[in-house]
């Protein structure tokens, strides 16, 4: 028994000793070694941040222009990234969007502006924390910073923030920022979806799965982006009846194969605001120019507080001292390949007629016309070029001038003319279709509903009423009547060439529309 107790005591001592050996008991005067803190390596940290920035842009294609762009393709879609230099923040840049294809004869037709009808849209980028904001200035009300009314004006007429973009990457030394800009080209910033639904008189929604950027090109002065957008409508039914829409001036017959699917091509032009020496010119009410109007706070104590800049091209003489000189930058037009060859000469002549007017003020060859090259890599909606195009409808029969202006100064920066092929067709037909009793009654009723200023306002065409021009319709009726008169009154043995007659008609109409593109009402 004693032997057992002794063995147990020895075992307990051994266990206690083993446990005590797990604890560190320093010798007298000895302190435990401290682990040295890791020193920061600024150079290594900087390299890691630069690598992170470079890795983000890996597998992208770089495009150098006024903005540096990067494109990246994934799963058949193209994403567009924009690299912003800090110096570019707060600087204005312009955006134009033009329809390459359309969905109906008027309001959503190829060649029409997809965003602002006459002005170019102005934006600037501002940084807020880890976002870049897209800011739109309030140009309808303007004031000087030093004006005593400036504080009140800023509070009363705010700017707009219409989109924001996450900063995807930031360079640690250059402080350049990369943002994803793909969504800009889906038309949301200018409510393209709402316009499609309103013009087509039925609900549509953008199909983001099918839609996307199809082409991006950068040039020293601008950037061109093409997008292919697809809008879906839930069913074939619904919407306003076409006859009623026509009567109210709210739309035209759909051109779609199936109203549930509306494909729309849009071409974008982006360029920065530049000081080119252009001086705005105050409008004179005795001369019929289109104008850029804004509420001017410097005129607050005057009866008329509106300042009006005329819309005009920036023409400067190569030789300022010469009585007659060519301009530094002429107004160059291109005849699109959509214009049938036999009508191209007449269209060019209509535009070139304006050289006589410019000669009166000392400009030689101010207006020039070229044919669009067969191998051109640009489309008719590319607003780097002034283009005359032909569009198609069943019976719209109109011509329209589209010109774009700098919203700050009123300078015309580019222009386009669209000729509906039905106008050419109708002009060559006899006048009888206009003189039939039923047609006459219809025309009279329609005129009272949509043309007369003193009739029901709701029945007037809304979006363009201020800028409407009905010369095309008048020319069409005049041409049909004149042709019938010539056929009736022509002397025996005298030849009458309908082709020549149509060419003269085209010269006249194109000249008129080109005049609008010179800024004239």
Over residues 109-127, the pLDDT tens digits come to 999 999 887 889 999 999 9
Q: Please give the model's pTM, rounded to 2 decimal places.
A: 0.81
Beta strands 331-335 and 386-391 are parallel
Tell me phi and psi for residue 240, to 5 degrees. Answer: -80, 140
Give yes or no for a contact between 398 and 425, defined as CB atoms under 8 angstroms apart: no
Distance in angstroms (rounded) separating the CA atoms of residues 49 and 1: 76
Query: Averaged over 317-339, what is the pLDDT?
Result: 97
Q: What is the pLDDT of residue 456?
A: 39
Give yes or no for a contact between 386 and 336, defined as CB atoms under 8 angstroms apart: no
User: 438-471 pLDDT, tens per residue?
Assistant: 444 445 544 544 444 443 333 334 444 445 565 5
Q: What is the pLDDT of residue 459?
A: 36
Residue 301: its H or E element: none
Compare 419 and 106 and report the one with higher pLDDT.
419
27 has pLDDT over 50: yes
Q: What is the pLDDT of residue 214?
A: 97
Sign for the pseudo-dihedral over CA of 195, 199, 203, 209: negative
Distance in angstroms (rounded) separating the CA atoms of residues 481 and 332: 34
Closest CA to 88 of 108, 109, 60, 69: 69
Structural domain boundaries in the chain: 50-272, 308-517
146 has pLDDT over 60: yes
Compare 308 and 450 and report the one with higher pLDDT.
308
Instruction: Please tell me the least confidently modeled range out of 246-255, 256-265, 470-479.
Output: 470-479
């Amino acid at each position: 028994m004693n032997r057992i107790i002794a063995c147990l005591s020895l075992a307990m001592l051994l266990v206690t000793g083993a446990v005590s050996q797990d604890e560190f008991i320093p010798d007298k005067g000895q302190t435990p070694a401290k682990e040295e803190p890791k020193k920061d390596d600024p150079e290594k940290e900087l390299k890691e941040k630069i690598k992170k920035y470079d890795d983000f842009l890996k597998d992208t294609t770089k495009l150098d222009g006024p903005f540096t762009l990067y494109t990246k393709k994934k799963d058949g879609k193209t994403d567009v990234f924009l690299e912003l230099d800090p110096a570019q923040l707060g600087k204005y840049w312009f955006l134009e969007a033009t329809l390459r294809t359309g969905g109906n004869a008027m309001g959503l037709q190829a060649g029409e502006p997809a965003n602002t009808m006459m002005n170019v849209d102005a934006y600037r980028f501002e940084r807020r924390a880890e976002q870049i904001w897209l800011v739109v200035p309030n140009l309808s009300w303007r004031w000087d910073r030093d004006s005593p009314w400036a504080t009140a004006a800023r509070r009363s007429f705010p700017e707009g923030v219409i989109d924001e973009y996450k900063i995807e990457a930031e360079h640690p030394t250059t402080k350049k920022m990369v943002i994803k800009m793909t969504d800009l080209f889906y038309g949301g910033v200018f409510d393209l979806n709402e316009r499609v639904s309103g013009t087509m008189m039925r609900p549509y929604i953008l199909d983001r799965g099918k839609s996307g950027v199809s082409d991006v090109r950068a040039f020293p002065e601008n950037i061109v982006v093409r997008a292919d957008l697809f809008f879906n409508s839930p069913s074939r039914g619904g919407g306003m009846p076409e006859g009623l829409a026509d009567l109210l001036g709210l739309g035209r017959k759909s051109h779609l194969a199936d109203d549930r699917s509306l494909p729309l091509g849009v071409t974008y032009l982006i360029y920065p605001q530049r000081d080119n020496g252009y001086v705005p010119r105050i409008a004179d009410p005795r001369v019929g120019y289109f104008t850029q109007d804004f509420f001017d706070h410097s005129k607050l104590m005057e009866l008329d507080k509106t300042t009006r800049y005329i819309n005009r091209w920036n023409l400067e003489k190569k030789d300022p001292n010469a009585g007659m000189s060519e301009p530094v930058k002429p107004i160059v037009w291109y005849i699109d390949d959509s214009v049938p060859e036999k009508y191209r000469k007449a269209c060019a002549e209509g535009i070139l007629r304006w050289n006589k007017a410019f000669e009166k003020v000392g400009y030689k060859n101010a207006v020039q016309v070229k044919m669009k090259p067969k191998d051109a890599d640009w489309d008719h909606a590319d607003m780097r070029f002034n283009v005359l195009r032909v569009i198609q409808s069943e019976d719209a029969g109109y011509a329209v001038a589209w010109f774009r202006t700098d919203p700050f100064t009123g300078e015309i920066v580019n222009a386009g003319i669209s000729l509906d092929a039905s106008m050419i067709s109708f002009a060559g037909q006899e006048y009888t279709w206009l003189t039939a009793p039923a047609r006459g009654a219809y025309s009279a009723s329609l005129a009272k509903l949509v043309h007369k200023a003193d009739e029901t306002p709701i029945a007037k065409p809304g979006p363009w009423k201020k800028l409407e021009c009905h010369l095309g319709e008048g020319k069409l009726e005049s041409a049909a009547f004149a042709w019938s008169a010539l056929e009736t009154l022509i002397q025996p043995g005298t030849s009458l060439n309908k082709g020549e007659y149509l060419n003269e008609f085209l010269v006249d109409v194109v000249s008129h529309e080109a005049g609008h593109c010179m800024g004239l009402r």
